[in-house]
């Protein structure tokens, strides 16, 4: 990273005051913001590192918001954006207008996505992609003469975004409080219970399972299920082997469409180009964002099968009344193409796959050393561990003792950025570093966790 000319203290204070006064932060504690101002003000990034106004360098083990897959500071993306802006910064794709970057990106995505998911609609992010997916599947059933098929089933702990429909599909209650409440026709099933989906009625969770809910509600009322290949914001939960195959089978059995939310998992995060590739399952619809441009510019996409497109086109002679001004933004598409080019040329998906065992080894070391560390898991460079009061007996900390945020604070002090996920007494530490993270950088991160856990133990035990 360039040697940063550190900002003088007076200017830093002024920026902090202006931030407090004028900036309403997304998904942040407003009270804490008003009391303490912004946590960090970052000025530059390089690889897995971020530097702040004080000149301090942090390991960005969250890839900022699970999205900076190729790492910070890639000048090539800026150059491509600049060239495209100089040529054709923006033009619309409404009314069948088109341009080169969107055509080339669509061809590229078709070559990467599984099965016949070969047709793409564009958005500016994950929530818009999921809203689009819900509209498309509901529209599809309506055109098929089945307008009652409109319910969407997600999974508990699932996160799908914050627009009104996406936050209703999201099962994290706090995100629905502003809507207000959940929109009708969104349901949530108990996650990752393979045997229920295969029809084991003796399972105590059967009634809350996807199959149980479908039987209760009636398949004739259900449009689609939506799920993340690995649940992200809900705390990094990896489905057991056979789960997605069972869900695919279930959807086929009942005539329900399957939407894979690849917003976090897509573009290499789990050591495969897409999360579903870990299980060879082909969904009917795939929503994408984040890693499609590694966050260098806003872009989301929804992939649908050719069959779905043909059905939408055949049944209706009408206009598809859905489109954003920035659907297929030329500059964003050009940046996405370059981002994918870097992912491929630098073999970052394969590298991510290899780094999974390094991360897992680091987690094992932490579990051996610290009895409060438990249930560690990793899929590619998406990982987490939990903090338990009594690991032997699987006892959590009491819900009023949120230990994960304490540990994250200790990590911040040691220049490591990770995320706490807490609900009830569950304390999870989640991470998803840039896919360029090396073995040595993972080891440094684990050494920081080691020290941070020791510090937390002193305060809580
Ligand atoms: N789906 C998943 C799985 C996500 O993790 C997110 C964002 N964290 C979204 C959807 C929403 O994406 P966005 O914030 O770009 O709207």
| 400 found inside a domain | yes
Query: Does 13 fall in a domain?
Result: no
CA 218, 220, 221, 227 torsion: positive or negative? positive
The predicted pLDDT at position 183 comes to 86
Please, what is the average pLDDT of the chain?
A: 96
Rounded to 10 deg, the angle between the 330-345 and 75-88 helix axes is 150
Can you give the residue range of the structural domain that contains 419?
40-70+348-460
Query: Does 130 lie in the same domain as 99?
Result: yes
**254 and 180 in a common domain:** yes
Domain with 251 in it: what CATH number? 3.40.640.10
Q: Given this model, what pLDDT does residue 4 score?
A: 54
177 and 317 housed in the same domain: yes
Q: Are 153 and 222 in contact (CB under 8 A)?
A: yes
Whether 309 and 440 map to the same domain: the answer is no
- CATH number for the domain harbouring residue 384: 3.90.1150.10
In a domain, 436, yes or no: yes
Residue 248 and residue 272 in one domain: yes
Do 440 and 404 lie in one domain? The reply is: yes
In a domain, 1, yes or no: no
Percent of the chain topping pLDDT 90: 91
Residues in a beta bridge with 123: 300
Kindly state whether residue 102 falls inside one of the protein's structural domains: yes
- Residues with Cβ within 8 Å of 378's Cβ and at least 6 positions away in sequence, in order, are 356, 359, 360, 363, 384
Ligand 1: centre distance to CA 203 (Å): 32
In a domain, 184, yes or no: yes
Backbone angles phi, psi at 257, to 5 degrees: -80, 150
Task: Identify the residue whose C-alpha is closest to ligand 1 atom 7.
Answer: 161
Q: Are residues 224 and 338 in the same domain?
A: yes
Cα–Cα distance between 417 and 273 in angstroms, integer? Answer: 25
What's the pLDDT score for residue 316?
66
pLDDT band with cut points at 50, 70 and 90 for residue 1: low
Tell me which of 345, 364, 386 is where a domain ends.
345
- Indicate whether 298 and 372 sit together in one domain: no
CA-to-CA distance for 290 and 402, rounded, in angstroms?
29
425: exposed, middle or buried (Cβ count in 10 Å: 0-12, 13-18, 19+):
middle
User: What does the DSSP assignment read for 133-155?
Assistant: HHHHHHHHHHHTT-TT--EEEEE
Verify that 304 and 357 share a domain, yes or no. Answer: no
442 band by pLDDT with thresholds 50, 70 and 90: very high
Q: Is the pLDDT of residue 132 over 90?
A: yes
Number of domains within the chain: 2
Q: Which atom of ligand 1 is nearest to the CA of 231?
A: 3
Termini Cα distance of the chain: 40
What pLDDT does 18 receive? 98
DSSP class of residue 242 equals T
ipTM of the complex: 0.99
Q: How distant is the alpha carbon of residue 159 from its chain centre?
A: 8
Q: Which residues line ligand 1 (CB under 6 A)?
A: 125-127, 130, 159-161, 228, 232-233, 261, 263-264, 289
The answer as to whether 264 is a domain residue is: yes
User: What is the per-residue pLDDT across 236-290, written as a single tens digit (0 to 9) for each?
Assistant: 999 999 999 999 999 999 999 999 999 999 999 999 999 999 998 999 999 999 9
Segment 335-375, tens digit of pLDDT: 999 999 999 999 999 999 999 999 999 999 999 999 999 99
pTM of the model: 0.97
Contact 353, 381 (CB under 8 A): no
For range 188-193, the mean pLDDT? 97
Are 329 and 370 in a shared domain?
no
The reply to whether 426 and 338 lie within a common domain is no
Q: Which of the listed residues 239, 289, 291, 379 should we mutate to test ligand 1's pocket, taking the one with most ligand atoms within 8 A of CB?
A: 289
DSSP state of 435: T
From 345, 371, 402, give the residue that closes a domain. 345
Res. 390: pLDDT tops 60? yes
**Same domain, yes or no: 109 and 135:** yes
In this prediction, residue 392 carries a pLDDT of 92
Last residue of a domain, one of 312, 345, 378: 345
- Return the pLDDT at 267: 98
Whether 31 maps to a domain, the answer reads no
């Amino acid at each position: 990273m360039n040697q940063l000319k550190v900002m003088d203290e007076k200017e830093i204070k002024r920026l902090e005051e202006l931030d407090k006064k004028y900036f309403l932060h997304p998904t942040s504690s407003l009270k804490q913001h008003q009391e303490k101002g912004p946590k960090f003000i970052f000025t530059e990034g390089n690889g897995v590192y971020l530097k702040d106004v004080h000149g301090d360098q942090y390991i960005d083990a969250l890839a900022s918001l699970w999205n900076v897959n190729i790492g910070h500071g890639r000048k090539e993306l800026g150059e491509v954006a600049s060239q495209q802006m100089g040529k054709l910064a923006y033009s619309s794709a409404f009314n069948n207008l088109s341009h080169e970057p969107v055509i080339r990106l669509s061809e590229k995505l078709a070559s990467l996505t599984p099965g016949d998911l070969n047709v793409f609609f564009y958005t500016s992010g994950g929530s818009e992609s999921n809203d689009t997916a819900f509209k498309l599947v509901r529209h599809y059933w309506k055109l098929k003469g089945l307008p009652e098929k409109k319910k969407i089933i997600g999974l508990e702990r699932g996160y799908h975004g914050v627009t009104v429909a996406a936050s209703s599909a999201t099962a994290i209650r706090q995100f629905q409080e502003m809507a207000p409440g959940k929109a009708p026709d969104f349901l949530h099933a108990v996650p990752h219970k393979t045997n229920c989906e295969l029809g084991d009625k003796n399972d105590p969770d059967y009634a809350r399972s996807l199959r149980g809910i479908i039987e209760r509600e009636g398949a004739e009322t259900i449009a689609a299920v939506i799920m993340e290949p690995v649940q992200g914001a809900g705390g990094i939960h990896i489905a057991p082997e056979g789960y997605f195959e069972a869900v695919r089978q279930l959807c086929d059995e009942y005539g329900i469409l399957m939407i894979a939310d690849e917003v976090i998992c897509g573009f290499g995060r789990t050591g495969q180009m897409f999360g579903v590739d870990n299980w060879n399952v082909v969904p009917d619809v795939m929503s994408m964002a984040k890693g499609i441009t590694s966050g260098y510019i806003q872009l989301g996409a929804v992939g649908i099968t050719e069959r779905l497109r043909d059905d939408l086109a055949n049944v209706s002679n009408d206009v598809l009344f859905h489109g954003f001004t920035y659907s297929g933004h030329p500059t964003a598409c050009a940046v996405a193409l370059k981002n994918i080019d870097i992912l491929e040329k630098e073999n970052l998906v394969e590298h991510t796959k290899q780094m999974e065992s390094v991360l897992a080894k680091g987690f094992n070391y932490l579990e051996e050393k610290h009895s409060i560390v438990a249930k560690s898991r990793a899929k590619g460079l998406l990982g987490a561990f939990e903090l338990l009061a009594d690991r032997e007996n699987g006892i959590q900390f009491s819900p009023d003792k949120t230990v994960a945020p304490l540990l994250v604070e200790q990590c911040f002090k040691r220049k490591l950025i990770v995320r706490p996920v807490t609900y009830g007494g569950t304390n999870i530490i989640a991470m998803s570093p840039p896919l360029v993270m090396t073995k040595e950088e993972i080891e440094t991160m684990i050494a920081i966790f080691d020290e941070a856990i020791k510090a937390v133990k002193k305060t809580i035990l």
